[in-house]
Structure 1
């Protein structure tokens, strides 16, 4: 154990993830608890823009409190080796789980869907947009999902607008308005939630695979492949994938609808949609 690298007050045990600018380690704090330590890669450690993005990530994630969202524990974005420490979430990424074992069973879908909706609602309640909700940013243990990776999150209403041809996020789960270069909103996150749920239920990205151009074309045309999606999950997914963001219910509404369906089938259908 003494041969492991240290970063701040944390021992780095193993690499568990890697992105374009950062590496995520399984770490251990001074009390012996497991944590996730995200460190900027050496070639980006001195890059002011990379440090600024990491600072935005810390600012966004620090606002959120939910058992369905990985908790921020510590950070140092000004030191020689900038890093962020979050709660270590045991389990498996939803994408890896589906790839290995196939679609989530219909009886398990409502609890998974509601947990994701509750996590997303907490993010939105904190005034934050996640912007990259996808199967690989949802960690599942049993039927309990936890949202992770706030790498491109930012405050709702912030002056950040994408441009046509500029893709920020996981392409297969992008809302059509983002592909068109419009401002991200809570409704954009809801679209990603619905697309992620469709993937969990069918084992297929709802807008197919292949070229970025082909996937984006199908998203813009609303050509979602929902074949085999069980009810009532299919009805919720269709609501979340509505082309007009103003017509998509909120994450909080979806969480309530799933709770109602779990106790009294059909009860959620009588509710008024709140976009």
Structure 2
């Protein structure tokens, strides 16, 4: 970037992400701590729709308190180049991690799935829908996921401005009702959680790759590829993939079931290897 630019009280260090309407920088706050700064691109910085979308993102993210969700720190919507400041999350996006090292295995996979369910439970408890749970929006450090990017999040009960026929989110991870133009609900996020966890477990999107039409067709038909996903995780994913949103469990329930699976695994390991020495 050449000489470091300042935005508000923040020194922008390196570009770490870029989308169609914003750029994300690694930055330093006035106390020398690393943060992430998301700044609207010059082309859209004066557009009311882009500014209102950023304001909704701030409002939604500000409500969520979770050790598994990147927290909102600051922001300025009325600046010449509106921006938000978020917790900087070290680690690797799940999709990059899988590409480089392959899928997650064993207890690491189950802990990852449980913690991502806890993140989603915290989002829903705050009255927020994330609407884009996908491998690109989960940063992983060890077996610890952090959910990022509330760019299309909505507060529960708020008017959803998505037009029928307009798909919002990462298509391969969307719930079928969203593809059909219905309203997003916590159950829609749960479906996307299951798609993301299935990808973490197998290294591939559960509804395949290829044309958008083909992927959406398989989602609508419920043709999830869970080959290689271990039980009991595979069974939990199947419940989260139910076609009827009312039949899917909540994120909190899934986190509890996965905690039970981890405890069962610990008990089985103890039986195999014998009780630890006193």
Q: Same fold (TM over 0.5)?
A: yes
Deviation of 1:236 (Å): 1.1
**Retained in 1: the 8 A contact 2:107–2:262?**
no
Matched, 1:82 2:88: no
Question: Secondary structure in 1 aligned to 2:37?
Answer: strand
| CA–CA separation in structure 1 for the residues paired with 2:211 and 2:40 | 30
Aligned to 1:271: none
| CA–CA separation in structure 2 for the residues paired with 1:58 and 1:259 | 31
Deviation of 1:157 (Å): 2.1
| CA–CA separation in structure 2 for the residues paired with 1:202 and 1:262 | 19
Alignment of structure 1 residues 35-184 onto 2, 5 Å: 35-160=35-160, 162-184=162-184
TM-score for both structures, normalised by structure 2: 0.93
Task: After superposition, give the CA deviation of every residue in 1:122-159 in whole Å (9 maximum; x if it has no partner).
Answer: 00000000000000100000110000000000111222
Alpha-carbon RMSD: 1.4
| Runs of 4 or more consecutive aligned structure 1 residues displaced over 3 Å after TM superposition | 161-164
Higher Cα Rg, which structure: 2
Deviation of 1:164 (Å): 4.5
Task: After superposition, give the CA deviation of every residue in 1:47-99 in whole Å (9 maximum; x if it has no partner).
Answer: 10000000000000000000000010000011101000000000000110001
Task: After superposition, give the CA deviation of every residue in 1:171-219 in whole Å (9 maximum; x if it has no partner).
Answer: 0000000011101000000000000000000001000001111100000
Question: Secondary structure in 2 aligned to 1:264?
Answer: helix
| CA–CA separation in structure 2 for the residues paired with 1:48 and 1:10 | 24
**Retained in 2: the 8 A contact 1:75–1:83?**
yes
| CA–CA separation in structure 2 for the residues paired with 1:239 and 1:44 | 41
Aligned to 1:196: 196
| CA–CA separation in structure 2 for the residues paired with 1:67 and 1:176 | 29
Deviation of 1:165 (Å): 2.9
Count, aligned residues: 266
| CA–CA separation in structure 2 for the residues paired with 1:105 and 1:179 | 31
Matched, 1:229 2:229: yes
Cα 1:256/1:44, change in 2 over 3 Å: same
Question: Which stretch shifts more, 60-69 or 255-264?
Answer: 255-264
Question: Secondary structure in 1 aligned to 2:208?
Answer: coil
**Retained in 2: the 8 A contact 1:134–1:196?**
yes
Deviation of 1:106 (Å): 2.3
Aligned to 1:264: 264
Deviation of 1:3 (Å): 2.1
Alignment of structure 1 residues 210-229 onto 2, 5 Å: 210-229=210-229
